[in-house]
Amino acid sequence: MNVRALLTLILLTTKIMAGKSQTNTSITYVHNPSPSFKSQFLQSLMTVLGKKNTIEKRIRTNRFSSEAVEPPKVLLSDFQTQVTEINHRKVWMFKPKQDASSKVILYIHGGGYISNLTKYDWRFIQELLVKTNCSIVVPDYPLVPVSNYSDVYAYFEKLYPVVLSETSQENIIFMGNSCGGGIALGFAQKLRDENKPQPSQIILNSPWLDVTMSNPDIIEIDKKDKLLGIKGLKMAGELYAAELHPTDYRVSPVYGNFSGLGKISLFIGTHDLFHADSRKFKQKMKGQDISINYFEYPKMFHVWMVLTGLKESQHVINQIATLINRND
């Protein structure tokens, strides 16, 4: 190879590597401060109260939290509020009264597909409204056992055009907690496959990414998780998936393809069963050369961020606000 050809090859390689470094703008954050006393106390309390078997008990006794807790009066008075319906289920839309940004968060609550919005969701939403100045759309989407994944996707297919009518796609953020994270990531993949507008960001808080619960690393984490039980989650996942194969991306989005999606950010604690699949997801993203913002909180439990009295929750809320307000 002559000198000119060698220089050309070096220049080309440099450009390719530069392009990759510009495209892949991943953030990996590991929270350094020790867990707060309050967070440790709550995990001890979960053990005493037997919270780990809650989902299993509710399914076996047919006790499902199907009704959403109504938003508190302070939320309704402090923010512009609009209430509408999709498929006979409520959708709340909140907007700051002053200095509202053009960005809109589609907030998809958690609850293992069996439980609805709680007072903790509303407190978290209020904090997000204050810290981000975004508008927030909060749907009361269908739940099992009356409904399954098909009804949930049909609901969001009707809701999403309403969200798009409020702003442009580059201003839309999907945010999902727990099973809501699974919905957010699965629905985004479906939108991409159908060549429909993609949100600019997808923020996943303690996401449930695989209803099979088959990751072998879950067994070790199960000893540390005081809130989630493997058996109950498997039962809920089977109800949600219905006739669909449990590894279909619509119910287990970790098995999907992640190219062409909005920028993904994920928050997870190491005392959370879903930590195993969150790390698996991170590695799959890396394998597909797709950037991801990954935030790991040692010894924190499932969806701690909705408990706004925790300093770790406030830290996450501030990080979310920074992510949303970035211009890249």
Q: What confidence tens digit (pLDDT) does each residue in 219-237 have?
A: 999 999 999 999 999 999 9
Confidence at 327, pLDDT banded by 50, 70, 90: low
Is there a contact between 181 and 206 (Cβ–Cβ < 8 Å)? yes
Q: What is the pLDDT of residue 158?
A: 98
> For residue 226, which amino acid is it?
K
Q: What is the pLDDT of residue 234?
A: 98
Q: What is the pLDDT of residue 13?
A: 34
DSSP state of 214: -
Is there a contact between 252 and 212 (Cβ–Cβ < 8 Å)? yes
> For residue 12, which amino acid is it?
L
Mean pLDDT of the chain: 93
- In tens, the pLDDT along 142-189 reads 999 999 999 999 999 999 999 999 899 999 999 999 999 999 999 999
- Domain 36-325 class, CATH top level: alpha beta
Whether the predicted model's global pTM rises above the 0.95 cut: no
Asked whether the predicted pLDDT for residue 11 surpasses 70, the reply is no
Distance of CA 208 to the CA centre of its chain: 8
Asked whether the predicted pLDDT for residue 19 surpasses 70, the reply is no
DSSP state of 69: P
Going by C-alpha positions, the residue among 219, 267, 211 that lies closest to residue 242 is 211
Is there a contact between 239 and 59 (Cβ–Cβ < 8 Å)? yes
Half-sphere exposure of 70 (CA within 13 A, CB side): 6
In the chain the beta strands, taken as DSSP E runs, fall at: 27-30, 79-86, 89-96, 104-108, 135-139, 172-177, 201-205, 263-269, 292-297
- In tens, the pLDDT along 193-222 reads 999 999 999 999 999 999 999 999 999 999
Q: Tell me how far CA of residue 200 lies from CA of 103, 129, 325, 326, in angstroms.
A: 10, 18, 12, 11
Give SS3 for 139. Answer: strand
